[in-house]
Amino acid sequence: QHNCFCGSQQCFPQCCYPKPHCKCPPGPRGPRGPRGLRGPKGEGSDGAIIPFASGNTLVALTTVVNESNALTTGYVAAIGFGETQNGNTFGVGGELALAAGNMAFSVPRNIRITDITAFFTNTAQLTLGASAIQISAQLFYSPATDIAFLPLPGTRVNLTPVLTGVVPANSVFTGSLKDLKVSVLSGTKLVLVFFARLVSGPSIAVTITGNAGAGVNIA
């Protein structure tokens, strides 16, 4: 049996073999190695989707013959996240006159709208003759310090096919806008509106009821 001496600088090997009787101190830390290569770039995000659905209340649209003076010519519907607000109208210049209640939401940051897809399904058969009616969905906006809602340019989705002749119940009308670059500032209020308008043929007073929904992609 040997008495081992482990100093701060050395440890006698003969004392540590075959079975160590002392623990040598670690050596000084080596220099930092070179920086590794940058890893591959991750996949970009496709953005976030804002969903809209009419919920349990049926959407009720009446034909709008003249959108610039539609206050007495038709009702439009605002839909939110599972709820519908009927009885809204368009005022002079296309301004949205909301009925009691609120379907708008506030944007918490600057965003860019890139895509919109919408659909409508009628719940009752329609007889329109030679009149042709277009159902559309569009976002309306109001600045943070205002209460008036105006059409957001570039966001109108015209659903197809156009309604004409006899339209069976549960027909589906769809439309999409792709690769948009519509900027919206933080604090802006947005609301999605569905409306019907006469695009050709004789004027006709008709109420179209159904279910509606949409998705708006933002970046």
CATH of the domain at 120: 2.60.120
Yes or no: say if 207 and 61 are a contact pair by the CB < 8 Å rule.
yes
Two tokens, residue 62: 């009446």
Give the pLDDT band of residue 92 (cuts 50, 70, 90): confident
Asked if residue 145 is part of any domain, the answer here is yes
Contact 61, 196 (CB under 8 A): yes
The pLDDT of residue 5 is above 60: no
Does the residue 190 lie in any domain? yes
Residue 105 pLDDT exceeds 80: yes
Q: For residue 136, what are the domain limits?
A: 48-218
- Cβ(119)–Cβ(212) below 8 Å: yes
Domain membership flag for residue 5: no
pLDDT at 62 over 60: yes
In a domain, 20, yes or no: no
Given a cut of 80, whether residue 99 has pLDDT beyond it is no
pLDDT higher than threshold 90 for residue 97: no
In a domain, 186, yes or no: yes
Q: pLDDT of 149-206, one tens digit each?
A: 999 999 999 999 999 999 999 999 999 999 999 999 999 999 999 999 988 998 888 9
Is 212 within the bounds of a domain? yes
- φ, ψ of residue 14 to 5 degrees: the values are -65, -20
**Mean pLDDT for all residues in the chain:** 86
On whether residue 33 sits in a domain, the answer given is no
Give the phi and the psi of residue 52 in degrees, each rounded to 5.
Answer: -130, 140
**In total, how many domains does the chain have?**
1
What the block records as the tokens of 177 is 């806008």
The C-alpha atoms of residue 165 and residue 129 are separated, in whole angstroms, by 4
Residue 83 lies in a domain: yes
